[in-house]
């Protein structure tokens, strides 16, 4: 596909044309993963973050927020809950902390989850930019996948979304190191940011392609009122629909372009429409990350407004999710890691050369 074609697809407004786009992306997904959904239990382990991104509700500058870190025993308990309920894998997500204490904490949590699930639960980490040796320790402890969103692939635009000391190239370097350390590597962007152009989204797609990523996690931008970027943006129904449409079209284009990667239907889609994640699946996504964090913490991990499932416990969300996924004719891959096909395909290629 050419850049011009991608641009045109990303800008579709006609409902019938969009339907055709989603249907062809869905057909592409069927070729690679079948009508299946992989689940990852998401554990939001800490809202403490040293970064101050202009769009994010848990940025360090948000003094209104009470900060927490879930204890190790509780993290392990949530992971084992996910394991017993046949989720094949978990994601440990956290704001960015760089310290030996944090490194050792994550390392020991990963190790303990591995031990107590007899090595059967897949573990993905999403703990920001770290030194190589930190990624290495976590990989050795048993983490197999890492998510680090680039947020936007345009360095200049990145500079507008972040304070001056947040470094685009450092993030790109982290992605490269993670790959060298044999993680399955995921990245992604926010879609529909104020000031973002369609050409930038096309470049984001090219960035995914060139980085040869294994997993894509991206979602529509949703304003948060306690942030510099979100203040004063009114969340009208029209705005919500617009953001959701952009997010879905970006998922569809990613599937058409990258084919065998894992693509998440993220919670941000659900924040914009009750059936947002299902619509993500039907536009080409194949992964859902149900929140399994203890309810007492959920309100304090709000990256954006209207975060869903604040009051629904893991048991309830699981039942609800099963019903929703079945209603669109898809099957949940219970007890499987749901590894990225792309990762194995690229490993095979690497061995041949």
Asked if residue 303 binds ligand 5AD (CB under 6 A), the reply is yes
Q: Which does 304 bind (CB under 5 to 8 A by kind): ligand 5AD, ligand SF4, none?
A: ligand 5AD
Distances (CA, A) of 6 to 196, 198, 203, 251: 16, 9, 10, 12
Q: How far apart are CA 168 and CA 173, in angstroms?
A: 9
Which residue, 21 or 271, is less far from ligand SF4 as judged by CB?
Answer: 271
| Residue nearer to ligand 5AD on the CB measure, 261 or 332 | 261
Q: Which residues bind ligand SF4 (CB under 6 A)?
A: 49, 51, 53, 56, 58-59, 95-96, 128
Interacting residue with ligand 5AD among 22, 54, 55, 105 (CB under 6 A): 55
Nearest by Cα to 10 from 166, 203, 165, 152: 203
Cβ neighbours for 53, distance < 8 A, ≥ 6 positions apart: 59, 151, 161, 162, 166
Q: Quick check: 28 binds ligand 5AD (CB under 6 A)?
A: no
Query: Total number of residues binding ligand 5AD (CB under 6 A)?
Result: 12
Nearer to ligand SF4 among residue 22 and residue 168 (C-beta): 168
Q: Is 268 in the site for ligand 5AD (CB under 6 A)?
A: yes
**Contact criterion met (CB below 8 Å) for 153 and 169:** no
Cβ proximity to ligand 5AD: between 49 and 123 the closer is: 49
Minimum Å gap between C-beta 189 and ligand SF4 is 12
Residue 255 found at the interface with ligand 5AD (CB under 6 A): no
- Looking at beta carbons only, is 33 or 188 nearer to ligand 5AD? 188
Among 37, 121, 190, 265, binds ligand 5AD (CB under 6 A): 190
**Piece of the chain touching ligand 5AD by CB under 6 A; list 14-22, 28-36, 214-222, 249-257:** 214-222
Output 128 or 217, the one with its CB closest to ligand SF4.
128
**By three-state DSSP, how is residue 216 classified?**
strand
SS3 256: helix
Residue 146 binds ligand 5AD (CB under 6 A): no
Q: Give the distance between the most distant pair of CA atoms in the chain.
A: 54
Binds 244: which of ligand SF4, ligand 5AD, none (CB < 5-8 Å by kind): none
Residue 58: name its binding partner from ligand SF4, ligand 5AD, none (Cβ under 5 to 8 Å by kind): ligand SF4
| Tokens standing for residue 222 | 């949703």
Q: Where do the DSSP E strands lie in the chain? A: 36-46, 89-94, 122-126, 145-147, 184-187, 190-191, 215-220, 262-265, 287-288, 331-332
Is residue 244 involved in binding ligand 5AD (CB under 6 A)?
no
Closest to 330 (Cα-Cα) out of 283, 298, 290, 274? 283
Burial label, 306 (beta-carbon count in 10 A; 0-12, 13-18, 19+): middle
User: For the chain, what is the radius of gyration of the CA atoms?
Assistant: 19
DSSP, collapsed to helix, strand or coil, labels residue 301 as coil
Q: Which residues bind ligand 5AD (CB under 6 A)?
A: 55-56, 149, 151, 190, 219, 221-222, 224, 268, 303-304
């Amino acid at each position: 596909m050419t850049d011009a074609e991608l641009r045109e697809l990303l800008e579709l407004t006609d409902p019938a044309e969009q339907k055709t786009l989603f249907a062809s992306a869905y057909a592409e997904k069927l070729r690679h993963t079948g009508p299946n959904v992989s689940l990852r239990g998401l554990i939001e382990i800490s809202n403490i973050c040293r970064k101050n991104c202009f769009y994010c509700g848990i940025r360090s500058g948000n003094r209104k927020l009470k900060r927490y870190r879930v204890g190790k025993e509780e993290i392990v308990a949530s992971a084992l809950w996910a394991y017993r309920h046949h989720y094949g894998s978990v994601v440990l997500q956290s704001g960015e902390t760089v310290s030996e204490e944090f490194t050792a904490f994550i390392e020991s949590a990963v190790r303990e989850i591995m031990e107590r699930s007899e090595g059967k639960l897949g573990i993905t980490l999403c703990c920001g930019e770290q030194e190589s040796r930190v990624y290495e320790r976590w990989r050795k402890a048993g983490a197999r996948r890492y998510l680090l969103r680039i947020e936007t692939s345009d360095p200049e635009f990145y500079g507008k979304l972040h304070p001056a000391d947040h470094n685009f190239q450092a993030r790109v370097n982290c992605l490269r190191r993670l790959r060298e350390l044999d993680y399955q590597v995921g990245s992604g962007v926010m879609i529909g940011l104020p000031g973002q152009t369609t050409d930038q989204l096309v470049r984001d797609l090219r960035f995914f392609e060139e980085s040869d990523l294994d997993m894509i996690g991206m979602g529509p931008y949703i304003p948060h009122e306690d942030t510099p970027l979100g203040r004063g943006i009114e969340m009208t129904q029209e705005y919500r629909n617009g953001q959701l449409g952009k997010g879905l079209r970006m998922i569809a284009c990613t599937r058409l372009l990258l084919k065998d990667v894992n693509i998440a239907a993220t919670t941000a889609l659900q924040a914009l429409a009750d059936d947002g994640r299902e619509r993500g699946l039907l536009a080409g996504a194949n992964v859902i990350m149900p929140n399994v964090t203890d309810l007492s913490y959920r309100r304090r991990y709000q990256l954006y407004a209207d975060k869903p499932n604040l009051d629904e416990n893991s048991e309830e969300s699981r039942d609800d999710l099963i019903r929703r996924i079945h209603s669109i004719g898809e099957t949940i891959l219970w007890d499987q890691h749901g590894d990225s096909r792309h990762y194995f395909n690229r490993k095979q290629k690497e061995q041949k050369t």
